[in-house]
A and B are shown apart, each in its own frame.
Chain A
Amino acid sequence: SQTIHQWPATLVQPVGSPLSLECTVEGTSNPNLYWYRQAAGRGLQLLFYSVGIGQISSEVPQNLSASRPQDRQFILSSKKLLLSDSGFYLCAWSNGGLSGNTIYFGEGSWLTVV
């Protein structure tokens, strides 16, 4: 069966510090991968999605970046965090199948920038 894991689950970072959130998927190959962010009390905002290694699409301008060094690994990074980067970050995957595109989410990572 397929599983998705992301870490760390929670972190508190000072403004201006770097960020690295990691996500891995097991049990499938060539998945579509996504990073979403959810600010407190808000909906899910798509940040990045990837259909293959090295292929990243950015949905909103920001100081975050994403990389996909391996087929089932997706990393969210920042060189210098802002207060507005605080939120709940979710990694997700889908198989891009012809009978629909069901998306499966990880457990989420709570980021507080102080």
Chain B
Amino acid sequence: DAKTTQPPSMDCAEGRAANLPCNHSTISGNEYVYWYRQIHSQGPQYIIHGLKNNETNEMASLIITEDRKSSTLILPHATLRDTAVYYCIVSPSGNEKLTFGTGTRLTIIP
């Protein structure tokens, strides 16, 4: 019961922006949207998170719709090293368990 829906796979050309969608229509008011990615045979890596406002850091941008029922992770200039499985999860603050879905397998094409 991951509470998010993501496409199983996507391709993106190297150097282009990669836009990864996520639906979280049952999100609660106190739940944050988190994005992680997992490169093969490694532990998942934190990318970005947000509550209501759009967020940007050195890795990516997060766009959250006004009704908060969906979001998009944007990798502005994808490189081959961005090939990974990207997980979108919703999580409240505090001592709550975090449950991952199956994510989106993003392949960057040269």
Question: Are B34 and A92 closer than 8 Å at their CB atoms?
Answer: no
Question: Are B43 and A101 closer than 8 Å at their CB atoms?
Answer: no
A97 surroundings in chain B (CB, below 8 A): 93-94
Of the residues A42, A49, A98, A107, contact of B94 by C-beta under 8 Å: A98
Of the residues B49, B94, B97, contact of A46 by C-beta under 8 Å: B97
Number of residues on chain A facing chain B (CB within 8 A): 29
B94 surroundings in chain A (CB, below 8 A): 96-98, 101
Question: Are A43 and B100 closer than 8 Å at their CB atoms?
Answer: yes
**CB nearest neighbor in A for B97:** A49
Question: Are B95 and A96 closer than 8 Å at their CB atoms?
Answer: yes
1/0 contact string of B81-110 vs chain A (CB within 8 Å): 000000100011111111111110000000
Question: Are A43 and B95 closer than 8 Å at their CB atoms?
Answer: no
